Structures are given as structure tokens and as C-alpha cells.
Chains A and B, each alone.
Chain A
Amino acid sequence: VLRLDNVTTMEVGEKSARSAGESGPSEGLDTVHNPMGFPPRVRGKALASRLNSLDGKTIFLVDCHFDDSGLLLEQIQAWFGKHMPGVQTRLVEKANMYARDDPALWERIKAEGDAALIGVGH
């Protein structure tokens, strides 16, 4: 046994507390479990039909309230105003924080709009 300033260390070859009474290092290695959980089945979803043109259409710009996303959407709105004035844009805020669903807003966009941009996801 090696002794260093009142610290006792284990000598090479000495049986450790863990190995005493337990299986040897190679025993059972043919039955080592996989630690991952069980993933859900993924069901495909179709994308919504795309528009032939944006001209005359209404696009909702949805601010999801993350890290000043509304300020970026304002610039996107300004870009449309300058470069595609035939496109109507409406800047709206998602009710509540970004992680919460907002079915009322989705229904409104479906009823009043033709397309949407949502940002900013991080």
C-alpha cells in the first residue's frame, strides 16, 4: 500500500471495493442495455397549397415575441412596401409567449389572409 502524507492509495493488484463481490469486468458484456427511450411514430403532413403570385394577396407577419423579432418583421414589412406594393401586409403579435399555441390568431389569418411569415424562431 502506498502512503502519501496520510493518504492511503490502492496498490496495483489490490482488489477494489467495487470489484469485490461483483461480476468481473468482461462478464455480462453480451447483454448491455441500450439507454435510449422510445421515439414516437412520425406521421407525414402535407404542406398547404402555395400561391401562384403574391400580387394582391395579404400576408400576415406574425411576431412570436422572441429577441426583438417584431423589429425584424417591421423591416420585412417595409421591404414589401417598397419592392412589392401590391402585397398587403399585416404585422400581428402572437398572443402570449412564443411557446404557446394561438388558435384564435391562426383562425383569423386563415379567414383574412392568404399567407404568413412567422418569426423569429431561434
Chain B
Amino acid sequence: MTLDAGYGVPTVMIHTDRFATVVRSTVRMNGMPNMRAAYVPMPVMGKTPAELRAYVAGNDAVTGRAFMQEVIDGLTSPLREADLTGESFERSTPRFVDPDSESNLHAHFLANRWTDGLPIVLPTDKRVQEMLAHTSHKPDELVGQMRATHHREAWGYTVEKVAVNAVMAGAAPEYFPVILALAASGVTARGSSSSSMAAMVVVNGPVRHAIGMNSGIGALGPFNRANATIGRAYSLLSQNLQGGSVPDLTYMGSMGNGYSFTNLTFAENEEASPWEPFHVEQGFAKGDSTVSIFGSIWHTGFTLGLREGHWRETVQHMLLGMDPLCKPLFVLDPLAARQFVERGGFESKAALAEWAADIARLPAAEYWDNQLIQNYVYPRAAVGEEPFASRLAASPDELVQMFSPSDVHTLVVGGETNAYWRLFSGAYSKTVSVDAWR
């Protein structure tokens, strides 16, 4: 679209048929509903040259006409009047829905895909006002913008709109500054990626205790209203404030992700951790209250403790079991965290990150043959970006690092009933002040 409308070069987009509805929606929201496209079957990945040749020689997978005829026509067919103007339009979002019975309103919210499929609390004005009473910010203040993925339009939202979604999630009003901070991040918890990524949320500082968040037994589970509903509010506000999270339109996660319901939301167990709290690592004061967001939550590894004999190999094998595109995120019960200190001498989370990045290595040939590395890392290496360019220059048998130390993070949470720990994939996104939204 940029090349065609912005640079005046007639262009045809080649897509796979599975994304036809997304393409139609996206070009319309970019004011170019007639942007030319041609479609091959899904997938392209893994197909032989002969199979791809058949795609090209065959029919367009959407229109049924010859694929190459669609390409040629897309570049040569005269423009129609509508092509010369594109399509301009404005939309609005009414403040209220039409009054109805309680059951009909629940059905309305469900039918409009404004929920996560679970029952919600109807956001009556009284409940929304109760939520708004817990921030000094005005209801009509713009909080930020959010989008489902990079090529989709960004929608805006106010403090009141965030409050509406917080009510729907069942959040108590005193949680509202944390939810506002999540909304202010502009980071969606409902990315449209076909990889079905989820988010993780960790809260640090005094607000953890002030609103009764759980950092102990069962903190990552369904045992605490604040943990559960703050995470759910983040999910609901993401889907609704960004303009939807509708399968086959604004959500294309092929398998989906159960973590997306509440986004693994918990408080860090700062008191039992041997290391400094996560928000202090990010430059905040210990007395500040913050919320931090990790994205790309896919992988989950799990084990108990660190046995003296082979703990290094255990950690190494868990790291090697991850896709190399993942960013390692150690989530440790305090007992496990102290074992990392005792066994490895890791006096800081940074020291653990340095060690983990150093032991996780693959032969260069295997690393570069990974599909996600091809999609996302090879293009960066090819333009000379380090450390990827050096990995690309390595001989096929040379062991290259899967991760950089800055990719690796550690969080401490749990009730010390045993030294369990997990290795998630989790790309650190940002930390936002909760205090700024009180």
C-alpha cells in the first residue's frame, strides 16, 4: 500500500488465501479498498519448488481465475473512479448501548465479541463512576492508542473507556490505577499474530499489598481477585480499545493461547527474593509502584530445584528446548531463586542472564535453518545488525548464541512450598508507573 499510494508505483500484493478477510479489512481501513491483491494457497512455507510452481501456474486461491492473470490485471487494468479517490469515512463509538433487559444485554455483549466468552459484569454508569473515583484523571482524558498488529489502524481510548472494561472484568475500583497503567502502555495483550502470543504482567512496589495482590502460593493461578481481574481487564481492554480481537479478522492466532484470559498476572515476591525487584532493575525506586509487561508468551518449561550434580545441564537443556526466537524468562519460586544463588553464585539477575545466554548455543547451520529465525532474524542480520550479523558470518558448525544477555529476564514469585521454577518465553516490553495513574 505504501509503495502504491505513497510512491506511485503500481503494485500487487501477494497473499495466502487464509488471510483474505484480513487483507480486505486492512486495505479498507487504509483508505484503499481496491488495492490489488492476488492469492496463493496457504501455506507457502515448506513447499517444494514444483509445488510453488503449481501455485503460480494455477488459479488464484480466492477468485478462481488464473493467478498470473490476476497479477497482470492488477498492474495493467485501467483504474476506475473509485480507485482514484479511495474511500474516506468516519466512524463513532456511542457512549452507551441501547437499554435492554439484563439477559439481552449480556447476549448483546457476547454477540458483538466484546467479552472473552466468560460472563462479564455489565458496565452500568454507576459501576463505571465507582471505578473512576479511584483516579484523579478526568474521564475524558486520552490514555493512549492501541492496535492489534503493526499494519492495522490504531484506536484511541479515554480514562472512562478503560474504566468500562475494568468493570466488565470484575475488577474492584481500587485496582483501577494498575489497569490504567496497563492501558497507558499502548501494548496490546491481544496481538493478532498467527503465533498466538500471550502477555505476562508483573506488579511491583507498595501497590501490591495495598490492593491485596498475591505473590505467594498460587500467585499465577485463579486464587486472587486482584491478580485475576487486573489480568482479565488488560485482556478485555486490549481487545475492545484496539478495535476488536475477532478470529479471522483482527485475531489470527492459529491455535490460541489459554494464558490470554488473564495474562499470567501476579505480584513479584520482592520480600522473599534474593535479588532486587524487577522494577528497580528498570530504573524505578523500590518505593515506586509499577506494572511491567512481557509479550510473546508461548513456551513454558518446568522443573523442580537444581540438583548439585547436573543442574547446569538441566538449565542448558531447558534453554535449548526453546525456539531460538524466544526470549528466556525465568520465573522462580523464592526457594528456587536461592538455589540459583547457592549453586551458581548468581548475585544478581544480570549475572544469571549472562550465564544463561552463554550456555545456550546451537550450531550456526541449525540456528539459521529455524523458520522463525529466517522470518524475523535473518532480515536483520542481512542488513548488518549485531549480534545477528556475526552469527550469520559463523561457519555452519560453529556454536552461536541463541540469546543475548539482554534478552533474558528473571522474576521471583511463589509461596515457597517447594523449589519449582519455570522457563517461559517472554519478551520484555515496558514498565509503567502506577503512581502516575492514581
A residues lining the B interface (CB < 8 Å):
23, 25-54, 59, 62, 65-69, 71-76, 78-79, 83, 93-99, 101, 106-107, 109-110, 113-122
Structural contact, B99 and A32, CB atoms closer than 8 A: yes
Residues 69-95 of B at the A interface (beta carbon under 8 Å): 71-72, 75-79, 83-95
Structural contact, B32 and A45, CB atoms closer than 8 A: yes
Q: Does B310 contact A (CB under 8 A)?
A: no
Q: Does B282 contact A (CB under 8 A)?
A: no
Given contacts A32-B105, A35-B168, contact A51 B75 (CB under 8 A): yes
Structural contact, B16 and A122, CB atoms closer than 8 A: yes
The CA-CA distance from A56 to B382 in the complex, in Å, is 31
A-B residue pairs in contact (CB < 8 Å), sample of 7: A38-B155, A69-B44, A75-B56, A79-B53, A94-B379, A117-B11, A119-B13
Interface of B is mostly: mixed
Given contacts A26-B101, A34-B94, A75-B56, contact A47 B9 (CB under 8 A): no
Question: Closest Cβ of chain B: how far from A26's Cβ, in Å?
Answer: 6
Structural contact, A106 and B52, CB atoms closer than 8 A: no
Residues 316-351 of B at the A interface (beta carbon under 8 Å): none
Chain A residues within 8 Å of B92, by CB: 38
Structural contact, A37 and B93, CB atoms closer than 8 A: yes
By beta carbon, the residue of chain A nearest B54 is A75
Question: Closest Cβ of chain B: how far from A79's Cβ, in Å?
Answer: 5
Chain A residues within 8 Å of B128, by CB: 33
Given contacts A50-B79, A101-B2, A119-B14, contact A29 B124 (CB under 8 A): yes
Set A31, A67, A106: member contacting B45, Cβ < 8 A: A67
Chain A residues within 8 Å of B307, by CB: none
Residues 88-130 of B at the A interface (beta carbon under 8 Å): 88-97, 99-102, 105, 109, 114, 122-128
Question: Closest Cβ of chain B: how far from A58's Cβ, in Å?
Answer: 11
Structural contact, B76 and A51, CB atoms closer than 8 A: yes
Structural contact, A47 and B84, CB atoms closer than 8 A: yes
Given contacts A93-B379, A120-B15, contact A72 B56 (CB under 8 A): yes
The CA-CA distance from A19 to B201 in the complex, in Å, is 30
Question: Closest Cβ of chain B: how far from A65's Cβ, in Å?
Answer: 4
Q: Does B194 contact A (CB under 8 A)?
A: yes
The CA-CA distance from A51 to B8 in the complex, in Å, is 11
Set B5, B96, B242: member contacting A48, Cβ < 8 A: B5
> How many pairs of residues, A versus B, come closer than 8 Å at their CB atoms?
282
Structural contact, A52 and B76, CB atoms closer than 8 A: yes
The CA-CA distance from A50 to B146 in the complex, in Å, is 35
Structural contact, A120 and B16, CB atoms closer than 8 A: yes
The CA-CA distance from A42 to B1 in the complex, in Å, is 14
Given contacts A68-B45, A72-B44, contact A116 B378 (CB under 8 A): no
Structural contact, B3 and A28, CB atoms closer than 8 A: no
Chain A residues within 8 Å of B154, by CB: 40
Structural contact, B95 and A34, CB atoms closer than 8 A: yes
Structural contact, B375 and A66, CB atoms closer than 8 A: yes
Set A71, A106, A122: member contacting B7, Cβ < 8 A: A106
Mark interface residues in B376-387 (1 if CB within 8 Å of A CB, else 0): 101110110100
The CA-CA distance from A122 to B22 in the complex, in Å, is 9
By beta carbon, the residue of chain A nearest B90 is A41
The CA-CA distance from A44 to B33 in the complex, in Å, is 9
Chain A residues within 8 Å of B28, by CB: 42
Structural contact, B46 and A38, CB atoms closer than 8 A: no
By beta carbon, the residue of chain A nearest B27 is A45
By beta carbon, the residue of chain B nearest A24 is B102
The CA-CA distance from A52 to B73 in the complex, in Å, is 10
Structural contact, A118 and B9, CB atoms closer than 8 A: no
By beta carbon, the residue of chain B nearest A84 is B72
Question: Closest Cβ of chain B: how far from A32's Cβ, in Å?
Answer: 5
Structural contact, A109 and B7, CB atoms closer than 8 A: yes
Chain A residues within 8 Å of B383, by CB: 95-96
Structural contact, B123 and A95, CB atoms closer than 8 A: no
Q: Tell me which of A25, A67, A99 has the highest count of chain B C-beta atoms within 10 A of its own C-beta.
A: A67
The CA-CA distance from A97 to B373 in the complex, in Å, is 11
8 more contacts with CB within 8 A, not counting A32-B96, A121-B14, are A32-B105, A34-B95, A36-B243, A42-B29, A44-B31, A44-B87, A95-B379, A106-B2
Question: Closest Cβ of chain B: how far from A87's Cβ, in Å?
Answer: 9
The CA-CA distance from A45 to B2 in the complex, in Å, is 10
Chain A residues within 8 Å of B83, by CB: 46-47
Q: Which of B157-165, B292-300, B414-422 contacts A (4 or more CB under 8 A)?
A: B157-165
Chain B residues within 8 Å of A39, by CB: 91, 93, 153, 155, 243
By beta carbon, the residue of chain B nearest A96 is B379
Q: Does B374 contact A (CB under 8 A)?
A: yes
Structural contact, A110 and B14, CB atoms closer than 8 A: no
Structural contact, A33 and B123, CB atoms closer than 8 A: yes
Q: Tell me which of B8, B75, B109, B160 has the highest count of chain A C-beta atoms within 10 A of its own C-beta.
A: B75
Set A23, A53, A72: member contacting B76, Cβ < 8 A: A53
Question: Closest Cβ of chain B: how far from A80's Cβ, in Å?
Answer: 8
Q: Does B432 contact A (CB under 8 A)?
A: no
Question: Closest Cβ of chain A: how far from B81's Cβ, in Å?
Answer: 10
Chain B residues within 8 Å of A44, by CB: 31-32, 85-88
